[in-house]
Structure 1
Amino acid sequence: MKPFLTASDYKTIHSLILNLPAQLRGKEVAQLQHEIKSAEIVPDEKISADIIQINSTFEVLDLETQRLMKFQVVLPHQADLKQSKISILSPLGVAMIGFRQGMTMEWTLPGGRKKLQIKQVENPIRITQL
């Protein structure tokens, strides 16, 4: 499965990774680099509304526990677990970015290997300039 990224999300993530200090470049950053290198880059206005992007809110179902969780994937400085905002650099953020509603994937998270299904994706309305 290949992720889909908007051109602006690709630029944002690429810049974020390039500007990270070496001591903060862990396994998740390497995985994210791999994900964006293999991603299909789509013009912002052509991305499907059911694909997880930066600032998307999504519901994911852990297929083993049947636990449904809701998160928003954000930039690292906006992350706040109390508000269910996860960083794009977190294991779940890396796992979900660029994938679409209905997809099921396996990914290693801090709690072990999980099989997750994306149940719902909500994206903020993008205002395009005329």
Structure 2
Amino acid sequence: MSENIVLTTGVYDLIKDHLRRKRTTQEEEQILLDQLKTAKQVLRKELPEDVVTVNCEIKIKNISTNEEEKYLFVQTDRQKIKKGKYSILSPIGLATVGNKVGDVINWPFEGGEKQFEIVGVERFN
């Protein structure tokens, strides 16, 4: 996992609000609080192209299985999992948001902790 995540101010506020509403597990909450303490906040136009944020498609590689998966991250009200669109506040969104291509992440999912690498990020409007 990268030392400091990079977030737009809007996404930073969105995550803080999500935590205030207690919509995460205690373990996720602690990880996110630690990340937010050191997160670098930037304007959207200043966000590096390889950083995971809202309105982007990412490709991740599971470290233990070597399998790759793609996720399309959208605003919470536009989530349509059957169409492959996930909220940035979904478990996989929270695990990856603010990280960049090349980062390896350990995250406590429902089925147990998983380790994966971000291998691609592509933005869209």
TM-score by length of 1: 0.77
Distance 1:39 1:106 in 2: 17
Distance 1:46 1:73 in 2: 19
Distance 1:87 1:33 in 2: 19
Q: 1:75-90 to 2 correspondence within 5 Å?
A: 75-90=75-90
Letter of the 1:25 partner, please give it.
R
Task: Tell me the matched-pair count.
Answer: 121
The equivalent residue for 1:128 is none
Distance 1:33 1:78 in 2: 25
Distance 1:26 1:11 in 2: 15
Q: 1:32-71 to 2 correspondence within 5 Å?
A: 32-71=32-71
Question: What is the RMSD of the two structures over their aligned residues, measured on CA atoms?
Answer: 2.2
Q: How far does residue 41 in structure 1 lie from its aligned partner after superposition?
A: 0.5
Q: 1:10-25 to 2 correspondence within 5 Å?
A: 10-15=12-17, 17=19, 20=21, 25=23
Moved over 6 A (4+): none
The correspondence for 1:3, drawn from 1, 5, 18, is: 5
Indicate the larger mover: 24-33 or 59-68.
Answer: 24-33
CA contact 2:15–2:89 (8 Å) conserved in 1: no
Q: How far does residue 33 in structure 1 lie from its aligned partner after superposition?
A: 4.5
CA contact 1:32–1:89 (8 Å) conserved in 2: no
Distance 2:85 2:48 in 1: 22
Distance 1:44 1:75 in 2: 14
- Taking only the aligned residue pairs, the percentage that are identical comes to 26
Who wins on radius of gyration, i.e. which is larger?
1
Mark the runs of 5 or more structure 1 residues left unpaired by the alignment: 126-130
Indicate the larger mover: 41-50 or 85-94.
Answer: 85-94
Letter of the 1:7 partner, please give it.
T
